[in-house]
A and B are shown apart, each in its own frame.
Chain A
């Protein structure tokens, strides 16, 4: 799970670095190659949806109240980084590039970096007026993205810095699991939990992007995409972009979404269950071979099969628990590199046994 979450984050970072580097080279191309996740980030605090408490707080800060240290936590793709960047943009206007320091897990972030980079940056004081004469808050923001992957030594090194430099610097820690942040840091920050986005919100956003980018789509395909991504807007948008690229000018169909997200069409999973029910050994063997020759990935099969088992109405609880246990065992063995063919067969035979 952890790997998945961080991977998602850093894939975004990769997108960022690529756009940065291409700007230097070729501005024309750049327009095309901006990942949509970057292009459609909310620009102002008002654009942020769903996270009401934090939006209310930030609005007060924009109106002139003091900004505390923040700690944002929540599942990936719920808008943590976007929120703080949008706020910084509004607070500092054009100068926002000089006023924030963004560090994430892909930058080297040991204790040495905290001591040198963060400390020196935080010690610089800044004026309370913008270059155009308008007032702006006299502090800078340091954004520590993916703070849960910082070593605890590095976190400990932050403690004193955070307190000492409050005058000139505010910190914003962003993480997926608040439990990975040491206690002294959490007590110094205002904590906000980010909820996963609701289905309607994601759907609206995706539709908006489709309209802006002239992507044609079928209603149902977006529904599936939203379901598949489960509240992670970034993943949904990345998938949408990949799909649109593959399809060129044609309308996005359901199959394309399934293809890109790697989801197996439902009828295969239902068929798997039906075949087990028939208790025909030969059919099972043929079915498993077919599934693998279609190159579907076995862990995904297990995941979707689990969902089917849990939601099924005609199994008793005991039967369900037996099957779930077997799924767990198979999944563990697959992680160790066991053969997909053998493990799927084992699962199917177990289902027969239980039924």
Chain B
């Protein structure tokens, strides 16, 4: 019994639910049996991975779906041992090089060298080149990306890279210009709704359009999350009620609560309280970008119009510092403290105005 997300993942390029012209383009590309390095980019849950797997399937047939897990061992120059998980089939190997942290350069170089220096044994059965699938290229260090650039050229005859990233602004231009970049935008709300309806129909359930619309609005264009939400709803309550509660991720609620606390009371005591909440989030491995983005979103929604500009300005500055500095909590806290100051200033000036007026 698999999750709906996996069960209803389209497996062939002719069966995608949205971005149909793009799928056709990809098919054209593969039909010639050869393609340049590819770079897929788009937000989470837009279907990058699904498209890559479809592409491979189109190229090699169902064999690519026989996956096996492997562990790759690497040794850094100062004898530190690294272990990286890999998923591979006869035709391709997939790794997440950013798992190795600052040692990702070694992983990238070794892996590609090993994979690329050997030719395929059986040209007819396996094709002329191997495929290396690298996830989260935007999280790679600049060093690793530079290393990639050289290896990409050198081994183009024996291997093709498929890179997968959330945003290409963090991918160096040198890599971008070597790849054919393929943009995968999020599905629109209407597309999400129709997909949810379809899935429910196949499951033999009836989903009220109203509920589907609410799920689509809540999922931020993330189709994977939409389908998971829908399945959770089904477990919680079936038959569906159009006003039923949609379960949101815990961390999201937690961040929203934190934002409300900031707006409610501005005092050193409260700052201490917020600190423990931020630590709590970080301990649970919520990425900083997500904490920051949701915090800001919620604040903007609930604060007064006149302070919005100031908040954004401060946010942009602190968010930038976050990436330059080393300790995340400092910057998050500084941001919160600054927010409190802005809010207090605003309230006092507001009070003064009222007093003067009266």
Contacts and interface: CB of A to CB of B under 8 A. Distances in A.
Contacts of A63: none
Nearest to B310: A349
Contacts of B313: 346, 349-350
A294 B157 contact: no
Nearest to A21: B157
A18 B156 contact: yes
A11 interface: yes
A337 B173 CA distance: 14
B300 interface: yes
B29 A297 contact: no
A341 B172 CA distance: 19
Contacts of A120: none
A352 interface: yes
Interface in A107-134: none
B342 interface: no
A127 B177 CA distance: 43
Contacts of B181: 260, 262
B323 A338 contact: yes
Contacts of B324: 336
A3 B153 CA distance: 15
A50 interface: no
A7 B185 contact: no
B292 interface: yes
A335 to B, nearest CB: 9
Contacts of A235: 177
Given A106-B150, A294-B185, A297-B167, A4 B174 contact: yes
Contact of B41 (A281, A295, A330): A295
Contacts of A32: 32, 34
Given A281-B308, A292-B43, A294-B185, A18 B157 contact: yes
A262 B41 CA distance: 11
Chain A, interface size category, equals 35 or more
Most B Cβ at <10 Å: residue of A235, A334, A342: A342
A235 B300 CA distance: 42
A247 B42 CA distance: 21
Given A4-B177, A294-B186, A295-B42, A245 B28 contact: yes
Interface of A: 3-4, 6-8, 10-11, 13-14, 17-18, 21-22, 25-26, 29, 32-33, 106, 235, 242, 245-248, 256, 259-260, 262, 281, 285, 292-299, 330, 333-334, 336-343, 345-346, 349-350, 352-353
Interface of B: 25-26, 28-29, 31-32, 34-36, 41-43, 46, 128, 149-150, 152-154, 156-157, 167-170, 172-178, 180-181, 183-186, 220-221, 289, 292-293, 296-297, 300, 305, 308-309, 312-313, 315-316, 319-320, 322-324
